[in-house]
Amino acid sequence: MIRIHDKQFVPFLSASQIDSAIARMAQEIADDIDEEVPIFIGVLNGSFMFVSDFMKHYNRPCELSFIKLSSYQGTSTTEKVNELIGLGVNVENRTVIILEDIIDTGNTLVVLNDLFKDKKVKNLKVATLFFKPEAYKKDLPIDYIGIEIPHKFIVGYGLDYDEHGRNLPEVYQLKE
Ligand code: IMP
Ligand code: MG
């Protein structure tokens, strides 16, 4: 068990479980892409570790950029999502694949989707390492999912609890 700020967390997913899921996702995506060079868009901050490991497993030509949004405060989601670093790349007529650390309510995903609406992308896809099906309230399709998890707060592997815990190489779940 570990303690972060005022809360206790228990081990939930090991580094090797996470790595296997990412290797599978990278293979799935590589298999779906023909001769195209996709632009992966990592969503900061949470996805930095996922993006790094994903890129090591993705063995075809690709480009990478990041966007920074923020929506979470503490352990509960907020309706408001802010864009802190915009997209600094031309995505017109390109295949864009969003790399998210986790999809919870789907609010962030809707904002991301709106952001690409007027950008004339050829193809927009979404890949998320973690997905909470019980929390998801939107209808937008999610193309690639690493691991489905229960509707409980997690920390580690890039995900934070009030900015702490991102450096943990494995994932911990909030203790009841
Ligand atoms: P959504 O907008 O509710 O789908 O939340 C998406 C964002 O909230 C993610 O990109 C994370 O940054 C953050 N988030 C959602 N669930 C968790 C969690 O269990 N732990 C840490 N951060 C989370
Ligand atoms: Mg995120």
- For 42-87, the pLDDT digits (tens) are 999 999 999 999 999 999 999 999 999 765 555 555 556 666 677 8
CA distances for 11 relative to 66, 102, 168, angstroms: 29, 17, 11
* Residue 104 designated active-site: yes
Contact by Cβ (8 Å): 159, 174: no
Mean pLDDT of 108-130: 94
Which pair of tokens denotes residue 17? 């479980």
Contact by Cβ (8 Å): 169, 15: yes
State the distance from the centre of ligand 1 to the C-alpha of 34, rounded, in angstroms: 31
> What is the pTM for the complete model shown?
0.93
Is the minimum distance from the CB of 126 to ligand 1 under 6 angstroms?
no
Least reliable range by pLDDT among 53-57, 114-118, 123-127, 151-155: 114-118
Instruction: Report every protein residue that has its C-beta within 5 angstroms of ion ligand 2.
Output: 43, 46, 101
pLDDT at residue 87, rounded to an integer: 83
Contact by Cβ (8 Å): 124, 144: no
Mean confidence (pLDDT) of the chain: 93
Q: How confident is the model at residue 176 (pLDDT cuts 50, 70, 90)?
A: confident
pLDDT at residue 90, rounded to an integer: 94
State the distance from the centre of ligand 2 to the C-alpha of 98, rounded, in angstroms: 11
Check whether 167 has a pLDDT greater than 60.
Answer: yes
Give the Cα separation of 46 and 22 in Å (integer): 15
CA nearest to 53, candidates 61, 68, 42: 42
CA nearest to 23, candidates 129, 170, 159, 133: 129
Could you give the angle at the alpha carbon of 16 between the alpha carbons of 59 and 131, nearest 5°?
80
The percent of residues in the chain predicted with pLDDT above 70, rounded, is: 91
Check whether 113 has a pLDDT greater than 70.
Answer: yes
CA nearest to 51, candidates 14, 3, 98, 5: 98
Mean pLDDT of 81-106: 89
